Amino acid sequence: MYKRIIQFFLLLGFFAYGQEAIAQIPNKQNYETVAVEKGDTVGRIALRATRNAANWKANWVLVMDNRGRVRSNKHLIRPGWQVLIQKDQVKTTAILSNNQSLAAICQQYVNPDCLKSLSAINEIRNPRQALDQTVYIPKTFSPAIPPPSLPLPTVQMEKVTYLQPVILWAIAAVLASAVLIFVIARYRPRIAKSSFPKFFQVPKSQKRAKLGLIRDDIIHRAAQAGTHINDSWLKIRPLRAIIIYDANKIPAGLNTVLEQTKQVYSEAGATLGHKTGKEGLNQYTVPFIKFHRLGKISLEQIREIGVDWLNPAMRKYADKLRDELIKRQRTDRNQEPLVIKPHPDPKNGKLIIEIVGQLRRKKLSEIPDTEEHIERTMQRIGDARFKKESFRFEDDKGILTLKFT
């Protein structure tokens, strides 16, 4: 009996001592406070603040909960808590990107490693994607120096005598009438019999989308034929409606793939050509394929031709989305695991994904922030070809519709 009473008082004293140790607040003047965002870890916060998350030391960091108590466990943090880092270890400054991309931010700093450094610190894969979040900049980065302003030229006023405005308008009207009469008399027979091709009526964005799909089709056909090509050299020119392999070394078998592409897209007026490029004193010839009647073939027809690579591409993206969702859910015990069921529709350029809860303990609509969670996951993947068109709840599942562009 006495033994249990003694154990009880010892446990009570240990608990009181532990509470006192946890509640002890350090001198905040020596620390810089960092707010904890959703999904954050101490390692990520240390990466953004110290640029050395792999080797951060426990004595650099203090974790304070929403009641102002210092926690002994420096690895468990929650939204609303604060992480305090020693000021002499902080190497970055936080700025709000204001819907800018990393590429736009790096234009404001003189540093050759800007994109690589900011991408690693802020864990952003696509440096050209517009951001609406806090971006951490190393303090060692120097701002770009604006170009020196040139002195304004001296203006000297001279008095010049001009013709009367009425006379000028009369001369301009006579000249315009003469030019119009000449054009009508010269080209009237041709204009009456000709019809402008649809190519000139195709918007530039639609031409870019069509050429992008054909470019992916060429890459797929080259892979099927065993021809290794560098994707970055296969470029599109929307204004001239051409796809060109702009490199000084042409891989064997590329001309055969382009010839096959020309036959498949004959309805779009596909023709092959060659262009001479220069590299120093040397010249080289590069092939290109031009589409003279791009407006006569629709996006649906192009997708139907490229169904062999569109189907795998859509399923691959769905698998990547599933893996990212599962990876994030392993660290969140309160969220029910999600199951992804893709339904590709290449002809209409859509990827329809059914999302259901694996355990089915509750409806998907009852799980908070499901749509926001999926949007953040798509941003982390960073594939600009897939854009969210709609998301709705139907019975106990969610229907996500993605547009492939």
Rounded to an integer, the average pLDDT of 108-114 is 85
Percent of the chain with pLDDT over 90: 1
Q: Could you give the CA distance from residue 121 to residue 135 in angstroms, rounded to a whole number?
A: 9
Q: DSSP string of 88-114?
A: GG--EEEEE-SS--HHHHHTTEE-TTH
CA dihedral 329, 331, 332, 335 (to 10 degrees): 20
Structure tokens at 23: 């509640």
For residue 115, give Cα distances in angstroms to 127, 138, 141, 352: 7, 12, 12, 34
Rounded to an integer, the average pLDDT of 49-78 is 83
Distance in Å from the first CA to the final CA of the chain: 77
Residue 348: what residue type? Answer: N
Q: How many residues does the chain have?
A: 405
pTM over 0.85: no
Q: Could you give the CA distance from residue 257 to residue 48 in angstroms, rounded to a whole number?
A: 47
Rounded to an integer, the average pLDDT of 141-158 is 65
Residue 11 neighbours by CB under 8 Å, 6+ apart: none
Cβ atoms < 10 Å from Cβ of 403: 14
Tell me the average pLDDT of the chain.
Answer: 77
pLDDT score recorded for residue 393: 81
Q: Among the ranges 124-128, 312-316, 334-338, 341-345, which has the highest mean pLDDT value?
A: 124-128
Among 29-38, 166-175, 180-189, 222-231, whose mean pLDDT is lowest? Answer: 180-189
30, 86 Cβ separation under 8 angstroms = yes
Rounded to an integer, the average pLDDT of 235-246 is 87
Helix (H) or strand (E) holding 56: none
